[in-house]
Structure 1
């Protein structure tokens, strides 16, 4: 029986003493209790992991939830001896089937973590029958365990992307760093700004820091100052997505100003048409619906000076020039700045000053060809993960779930030990 249960439980260095079914009115379901104990020669300190001599048999039995056997819930029960560690003193011995402080076996935690990467919250909570808050603690332990056995994600970095994403209804933020070459999240931390991003560079060795050649991100000043301080030789690359988003924001502000102006002048017809192109002006030409195209055609007659239509054309010029070769893009960017500066549209003129100031960074973006598209894709997946993690009380558990789903960790279902 010992050999059979050892194989079924998939635990090493463990002696199975007894197994019985407990059907108590105090429990919601029958439980298969398996009494086990670690081998005497495997006694180790639960804090530092070194082999130690036994001290006593401990204060009683403890339970660990294990993977179910079909429809039967399984729990491992063991008396916890204490060991006398020269470094840590008298502490509870480490068990070979679970992490210190956990109420679940490693295989059970690996199964739950794998479910978190492929299923939704309802499946994760319902299939193994655990509370969602408990799932957060499991994600944290599994992510830490996998991170210690895998190669460092900071080795071989050449191009990284940095961005912040909001959680808890957008009131707080996570700073996320992505490896462009391996297409995965390598670091995340609560908060944003120069002080938070500096923690990433401080976590790197001098060799790892020196290997970074390019840093992509939006136009935030804290990214510029942090890169200049910690990696001054790296090329700072603006993302094309954010460059176009600057123009989209300016275009929307211009539309709101013209809409309010039409309402103030009592031109209800013009105000209605301005409101009708609210979403159309933010779309690419190929994505417009027939109704939106008709609204654009009527917009020329509605706006005598053609401010909104000209602003939309400038947005399209900026979006397309980012895809051209560096020589052609340089000429077209100079032409765009000239047209925007003389457009007499206040929002576009103000943006032209910003584009002129960041012109070297924009040309570097076009020349190197790096994009934050992968970071934006990861950001969307992170937002899905944040919604999934609703109910976690600690941001460390949220970050652990992000690393499990987006960090390239080698998470697998438990395999039988052969």
Structure 2
């Protein structure tokens, strides 16, 4: 019997002493209680992990939740002896089936972590019968354990991307750093701004900093100042996606201004057509539906001065020049800034000043061919993760879940020990 349960528990260096079923009215369900003990000579300090001599049998027994056997809840029960460690003093000995301070076995935590990567809060909590906050703490421990067995994610970085993503109302953000070559999130931190990004660089060794050659991101000034301080020789690359989004935002502001102007002048036909092209002006020409194409073609009769149409043309010129060779793009960007600054459209003139100021970064983006597309894709996955992690009260648990799903960690279901 003991040998069978030794194999079923899937835990090495453990002796099964007794097995019984506990059906108490104080418990919501029957429990399969397995009394175990570590093998002789396996006592280790729970702090430094070294083998030590036993001190005493401790103050009693403890319980650890294990993976269920079918519909039976399984708990491991064991005495908690103490060891005499010269460096740490008299401390509780570690056990081979669980992390120090945890009330769950490693196999149970691995199963919970895997479920959190593929299922939402309700599924994980209902299937494992654990609170979501408890599952978040488990994810945090599993991430620390997996990362301790992997090489440092900061070694050999040459191109990184940085961006912030909101995870709660009230401008609450996570700052995410992605390694472009390894295609994974290497760091996530609560908050955003220069101070948060500065913590990332301070965590790196001098050799790790020196290997970074390219930093991609949006046009935030806190990224520029932080890169300039820690990696002045690195290439600062703007994401083409953000450059086009600047123009799309300016184009939408032009449409809103003309729509409000038509409403105040009681020009119902113009106001109706301006509202009808709300989504058409922000799409690429090849993505327009038939109805949107008709509304866009009728825009010339509605807007005699052609202000919105001219703004849309400037957006298309800016979008297409980003994919041209560097010499051609340099000439086209100069022409774009010239015509945009003389368009007499306030929103476009303001954007032309911004483009002129960031012109070297935009040309560097075209020349190097780097983009922040991978980070934007990770942002979509992180948004899905945030929705799946609805109910997380601590940012550390949310970050642990992001690392489980996007950090390239080898999250697997427990396998039989051979």
TM-score range, shorter chain: over 0.9
TM-aligned CA deviation for residue 121 of structure 1: 2.3
Q: TM-score, normalised by structure 2?
A: 0.98
The answer to whether residue 388 in structure 2 is matched with residue 388 in structure 1 is yes
Task: Please give the alpha-carbon distance, in whole angstroms, between the structure 2 residues aligned to 1:110 and 1:337.
Answer: 55
Q: Give the SS at the match of 1:413.
A: coil
Please show how residues 115-154 of structure 1 align to structure 2 within 5 Å. Answer: 115-154=115-154
Q: Give the SS at the match of 1:390.
A: coil
Match of 2:183 in 1: 183
Match of 2:379 in 1: 379
Match of 2:34 in 1: 34
Task: Please give the alpha-carbon distance, in whole angstroms, between the structure 1 residues aligned to 2:345 and 2:332.
Answer: 20
Q: Give the SS at the match of 2:5.
A: helix
Q: Which region of structure 1 is more displaced relative to structure 2, 44-53 or 145-154?
A: 44-53
The answer to whether residue 299 in structure 2 is matched with residue 299 in structure 1 is yes
Task: Please give the alpha-carbon distance, in whole angstroms, between the structure 2 residues aligned to 1:40 and 1:202.
Answer: 44
TM-aligned CA deviation for residue 128 of structure 1: 1.7
Q: Does the 8 A contact of 2:121 with 2:390 survive in 1?
A: no
Q: Does the 8 A contact of 2:120 with 2:389 survive in 1?
A: no
TM-aligned CA deviation for residue 285 of structure 1: 0.9
Task: Please give the alpha-carbon distance, in whole angstroms, between the structure 1 residues aligned to 2:111 and 2:87.
Answer: 34
Match of 1:356 in 2: 356
Q: Extract unaligned runs of 5+ from structure 1.
A: none
TM-aligned CA deviation for residue 286 of structure 1: 1.2
Task: Please give the alpha-carbon distance, in whole angstroms, between the structure 1 residues aligned to 2:258 and 2:273.
Answer: 11
Q: CA offsets per residue over residues 136-159 of structure 1, 9 Å max, x none?
A: 011000000001001111111110
Match of 1:214 in 2: 214
Match of 1:163 in 2: 163
Q: Give the SS at the match of 2:360.
A: helix
Task: Please give the alpha-carbon distance, in whole angstroms, between the structure 1 residues aligned to 2:181 and 2:20.
Answer: 53
Q: Extract unaligned runs of 5+ from structure 2.
A: none
The answer to whether residue 337 in structure 2 is matched with residue 329 in structure 1 is no
Task: Please give the alpha-carbon distance, in whole angstroms, between the structure 1 residues aligned to 2:237 and 2:168.
Answer: 29
Q: CA offsets per residue over residues 286-308 of structure 1, 9 Å max, x none?
A: 11111111111111111111111
Tell me which stretches of 4 or more aligned residues in structure 1 moved more than 4 Å: none
TM-aligned CA deviation for residue 170 of structure 1: 4.9
Q: Give the SS at the match of 1:175.
A: strand
TM-aligned CA deviation for residue 233 of structure 1: 0.7
Number of aligned positions between the proteins: 418
Q: TM-score, normalised by structure 1?
A: 0.98
Please show how residues 235-250 of structure 1 align to structure 2 within 5 Å. Answer: 235-250=235-250
Task: Please give the alpha-carbon distance, in whole angstroms, between the structure 1 residues aligned to 2:83 and 2:328.
Answer: 73
Q: Please provide the CA RMSD for this pair.
A: 1.0
TM-aligned CA deviation for residue 268 of structure 1: 1.3
TM-aligned CA deviation for residue 228 of structure 1: 0.4
Match of 1:314 in 2: 314
Task: Please give the alpha-carbon distance, in whole angstroms, between the structure 2 residues aligned to 1:46 and 1:311.
Answer: 66
Please show how residues 256-271 of structure 1 align to structure 2 within 5 Å. Answer: 256-271=256-271
Match of 1:81 in 2: 81
Task: Please give the alpha-carbon distance, in whole angstroms, between the structure 2 residues aligned to 1:222 and 1:316.
Answer: 29
TM-aligned CA deviation for residue 39 of structure 1: 2.0
